[in-house]
Amino acid sequence: MDPMAIVERQAQQTDSRILWLVLDGLGDVPREGDAETPLSAAVTPNLDRLAREGCCGRFDPVGPGITPGSGPGHLGLFGYDPSEYEIGRGVLSAVGIDFPLQRGDVAARFNFCTVDEQGRIVDRRAGRLPTAENQRLVAILREIRLAEGIQLFVETESEHRGVLVLRGEGLGHRVGDTDPQRVGVEPHQAAALDEASQRTATQVRAFVAQARRLLAREERANMLLLRGFDTLPAIPSMSARFRLRPVCIATYPMYRGLARLVGMAVPPAPKRLADLPAALEQVWGAHDFFFVHIKYTDKAGEDGDFTGKLKIIEEVDALLPALLGPGFEVVVVTADHSTPWSFKAHSWHPVPALVWAPGRVFRDQVMTFSELACIAGGLGRQPLRFLIAEALAAAGKLAKFGA
């Protein structure tokens, strides 16, 4: 049996509270010369205290060698097997703009593009048109009407990118991309990939035909390309699986959406780091699992900015005493994946993690919070989805298994 199935069986509700602090893309690799990472070089007295008093380790978001996107990374973080629940590009985009996707909706990503007089694609991104332009065109496309009973949503993402959502009875989601991923050819016709998606494909073709007429006079964005048709996966909630009452404090829509997928409450969140403690206090009464998401570590990693990443880590460290103010029984600090500054991209390297719960976790000999120090940690190296089991146990939320 999968170990997480036993965790689900033994989970019990208690009053203890878990802070689940995620520094997106935190993991890194030692740089040439001094072998430092942003985390090891940062001055982090508070994180180091938690590491010293707690138990550390390293966790693989998906599996050895696998570089996760944000979806799989967060599924792992929340205790789900990322290979079991796939979140398609269309759904992730909808979720990423905070669109309130419902069960059965079919979502796709679209690009505005430029086609020539023969209808052949000459620019797949319509010159990366400004977001304001995108919004103007989306307002036009919203006039499109489809068959009786089919609701249409057209939403701006940013620049040339947008999201299309169809809502109605009997809409399968297995529709092929219209985006051929190259120029010099016409877009594909939307094709149903199974019988249940025939109606969807018909409606998508109708949408594209009307869109083309409405955009015909545009200079750059005179057509659009669709890809990543998908529907919400049926993911059991964290409260059903672990008897938690989880809440998400995240600024970026993508992570708010991912939290919603697993049934978290998602109240409005502050833009500034300094306002996080107040946001936590506001939801204190009704929850026992507090997912706090910090995006900026990942952004600095993607920008190849060692010092920037280090500085954000130090800012979060300085904020910790206030964050811990209300008094959590268990504190977890970790990441959804590594984003080494030298890669400027996500990577497969395991993420460092600490679990703090005085008198409850095995206090190992790790004295600072860093990727290297965590190698010697008591949690060892495990799949990321098991981390929540360590936290639930530390919080007294897992009953004894067997007599």
Which residues are near a copy of itself by CB under 8 A?
A: 1, 3-7, 10, 29-30, 32, 35, 58, 62-72, 81-84, 86-89, 92, 228, 342, 346, 348-349, 359, 361-365, 371-372, 375-378, 380-382, 386, 389-393, 398-403
Closest distance between a copy of itself and the C-beta of residue 401, in Å?
5
For a copy of itself, the closer CB: 12 or 102: 12
Closest Cα to residue 330, out of 357, 352, 354, 353?
357
Closest distance between a copy of itself and the C-beta of residue 327, in Å?
19
Closest distance between a copy of itself and the C-beta of residue 335, in Å?
14
Closest distance between a copy of itself and the C-beta of residue 365, in Å?
6
What residue spans of 252-303 are helical by DSSP H? Answer: 253-261, 276-282, 296-302
Closest distance between a copy of itself and the C-beta of residue 402, in Å?
4
Instruction: Give the Cα-Cα-Cα angle 130, 125, 164 (nearest 5 degrees).
Output: 85
The single residue listed with the structure tokens 């060698």 is: 65
Closest Cα to residue 307, out of 45, 33, 38?
38
Greatest Cα pair distance, the chain, in angstroms, is 75
Closest distance between a copy of itself and the C-beta of residue 396, in Å?
10
| Tally of residues, the chain | 403
* Residue 298 CB partners (closer than 8 Å, separation 6+): 24, 25, 339
Closest distance between a copy of itself and the C-beta of residue 353, in Å?
12
* Residue 41 CB partners (closer than 8 Å, separation 6+): 306, 310
For a copy of itself, the closer CB: 35 or 216: 35
Closest distance between a copy of itself and the C-beta of residue 210, in Å?
28
User: What distance in Å separates the CA atoms of residue 241 and residue 235, rounded to the nearest whole number?
Assistant: 10
**Would you state the structure tokens that stand for residue 325, as one six-digit string?**
């103010």
Closest distance between a copy of itself and the C-beta of residue 6, in Å?
5
Using an 8 Å Cβ cutoff, are 291 and 22 in contact? yes
Three-state secondary structure of 316-371: HHHHHHHHCCCCCCEEEEECCCECCCCCCCCECCCEEEEEECCCCCCCCCCCCCCH
Closest distance between a copy of itself and the C-beta of residue 212, in Å?
27
For a copy of itself, the closer CB: 42 or 62: 62
User: What distance in Å separates the CA atoms of residue 190 and residue 178, rounded to the nearest whole number?
Assistant: 5
User: What distance in Å separates the CA atoms of residue 192 and residue 111, rounded to the nearest whole number?
Assistant: 20
For a copy of itself, the closer CB: 142 or 381: 381
User: What distance in Å separates the CA atoms of residue 169 and residue 50, rounded to the nearest whole number?
Assistant: 51
Segment (H or E) for 212: helix 198-215
For a copy of itself, the closer CB: 17 or 58: 58
For a copy of itself, the closer CB: 133 or 364: 364
For a copy of itself, the closer CB: 199 or 360: 360
For a copy of itself, the closer CB: 104 or 380: 380
For a copy of itself, the closer CB: 108 or 276: 108
* Residue 30 CB partners (closer than 8 Å, separation 6+): 36, 37, 40, 371, 372
For a copy of itself, the closer CB: 288 or 390: 390
**Would you state the structure tokens that stand for residue 222, as one six-digit string?**
């005179």
